[in-house]
Amino acid sequence: MRTVRDRLRVAYGRPVLRPHRAPIDELVLTVLSQNTNDRNRDVAYFRLREWFPGGWPEVRDAPLERVEEAIKPGGLSKTKSGRIQEMLRAIGDDELGWLERAPLAEARDFLIALPGVGRKTAACVLLFSFGRPDVPVDTHVFRVGGRLGLFRPGAPLEETHNELTRLAAGDPDDAYELHTALLRHGRRTCVARAPQCDECPLRRICPYGRSRVRSAET
Ligand code: SF4
């Protein structure tokens, strides 16, 4: 893992973790990011903030159709508006600042129990909002980690979260770097359909990359 990290650090630099301490913003952003790209997600998010200057309580209590209209540029607005309001109702007036100091498992369990929140979203909130060492595994991290053999073959998503979080060993900067480096690598080089193994700094230590080279030679 250290070799993977060091090589990716040379390729992409070392990302800096800057916790923003806005957990509800992060929760809403992750709902908005489902099935869309970052740009559309951001347009939907900023429209929501602009249309509801009273903040999340105003979004929670607004007519559903108005929330739906505000987030339309992000796609799936009917489903997402319902999810956002349901989540905000479950949170109530709690600002969730206590998640910064609660035991990690307790904080995670609380988030996962919210409607529409899974393990990845919970980890995003904990890591990006509070710098807690939980590693989110999205589709890129899952694919790259699997190809590199960081997980047991066929490991379910939950197990991959546990494994990367274990590798981060309680260090928030390592957790952030692990997530960010694998994500960047998955977007730029280790893409889903045609990974660019020839140009990859990890090809010598990657079982998937080595087997591709072998089968190209035979
Ligand atoms: S060698 Fe290929 S499969 Fe392995 S990490 Fe690099 S791009 Fe991905």
pLDDT digits (tens, 9 = 90+) for 136-191: 999 999 999 999 999 999 999 999 999 999 999 999 999 999 999 999 999 999 99
All structural domains of the chain with their residue ranges:
2-16+135-205, 23-130
| DSSP one-letter code for 98 | G
Q: Which of 28-37, 76-85, 106-115, 129-138 has the weakest average pLDDT?
A: 28-37
Longest dimension (CA), the chain: 64
Task: Say what the pLDDT of residue 216 is.
Answer: 73
Q: Whose CA is nearest to atom 8 of ligand 1?
A: 190
The C-alpha atoms of residue 174 and residue 167 are separated, in whole angstroms, by: 9
Task: Say what the pLDDT of residue 218 is.
Answer: 66
Q: Average model confidence (pLDDT) for the chain?
A: 95
Average pLDDT rounded to a whole number, residues 2-24: 95
Task: Say what the pLDDT of residue 214 is.
Answer: 75
Is it the case that residue 55 has pLDDT exceeding 70? yes
Burial label for 21, CB within 10 Å (0-12, 13-18, 19+), is middle
What is the CATH architecture assignment of 23-130?
Orthogonal Bundle (1.10)
In the numeric block, which tokens belong to residue 135? 């590693």
Burial label for 166, CB within 10 Å (0-12, 13-18, 19+), is exposed
What is the CATH architecture assignment of 2-16+135-205?
Orthogonal Bundle (1.10)
Looking at residue 126, its amino acid is L
Task: Say what the pLDDT of residue 213 is.
Answer: 74
Q: Whose CA is nearest to atom 2 of ligand 1?
A: 197
Are 59 and 85 in contact by the 8 Å Cβ rule? The answer is: yes
Q: Which residues line ligand 1 (CB under 6 A)?
A: 144, 147-148, 189-190, 195-197, 200, 202-203, 206, 208-209
Is it the case that residue 14 has pLDDT exceeding 80? yes
Atom number in ligand 1 closest to CA 201: 6
Question: Which mutation among 12, 142, 197, 211 tests ligand 1's pocket best, with the greatest number of atoms within 8 A of CB?
Answer: 197
Q: Whose CA is nearest to atom 3 of ligand 1?
A: 209
Looking at residue 60, its amino acid is R
Is it the case that residue 217 has pLDDT exceeding 80? no
Atom number in ligand 1 closest to CA 203: 1
